Amino acid sequence: MGDRYLALFEDVEHAVEALGELRALGVPEEDLSVISGIPVAEAIMGRPKVANLMARWALPGALLGLAAGVFFTIGTPLMYPIQVGGQPIVSLPPSMVIIYEFTMLGVILATLIGLLAQAELPRWREKVYHPAISHGAIGILFRCDESCFDQVRERLRGLGAFELIPVDRSES
């Protein structure tokens, strides 16, 4: 699998060249990660577009909320019927409002859970970071074998990496 390293660059152009060089050296895309203190679009860095998975969280939440709303407004009165003053046991207009509210509650709670999951919150482990990133540096976190590290180090230094740091495995 290999050890992990953090390469720091002064500007985006050098980091983009370094990403291309790392790919050319055989580092797979899933072993590359860009760390930046400023927002940099995936297209600028030549990275694949990251999919937004919020809809995948919201839809099951909506379905669960809908099921809960139907259960509480229609299922419960049918399980324990109490006839009051000749009124129907289940009245649809007020039930629809409650079903809608339960559906929205399911969407909101599922989206919140999805947001926390995508943001990896709470963070149980410390993330890889270097103080230079807060001052405008671009970090590239990558994994490579020790056998090819010397070649990678020389190429990254040639592309403008001002620091190349081995990352402890416990910081992943």
Q: How far apart are CA 44 and CA 51, in angstroms?
A: 16
Half-sphere exposure of 156 (CA within 13 A, CB side): 28
Tens digit of pLDDT for each residue in 28-72? 888 899 999 888 887 777 777 777 888 899 999 999 999 999 999
> What is the widest separation between alpha-carbon atoms in the chain?
87
Q: How far apart are CA 108 and CA 135, in angstroms?
A: 36
| CB contact set of 110 (below 8 Å; sequence gap of 6+) | 57, 58, 60, 61, 62, 64
Does the predicted TM-score (pTM) go above 0.75? no
**Domain finish residue from 79, 99, 118:** 118
Return the DSSP state at 83.
-
Q: Whole domain around residue 88: which residue ranges?
A: 54-118
Tens digit of pLDDT for each residue in 60-111? 999 999 999 999 999 999 999 998 888 999 999 999 999 999 999 999 999 9
Domain count, the chain: 2
My answer on whether 95 and 113 are in the same domain is yes
My answer on whether 83 and 32 are in the same domain is no
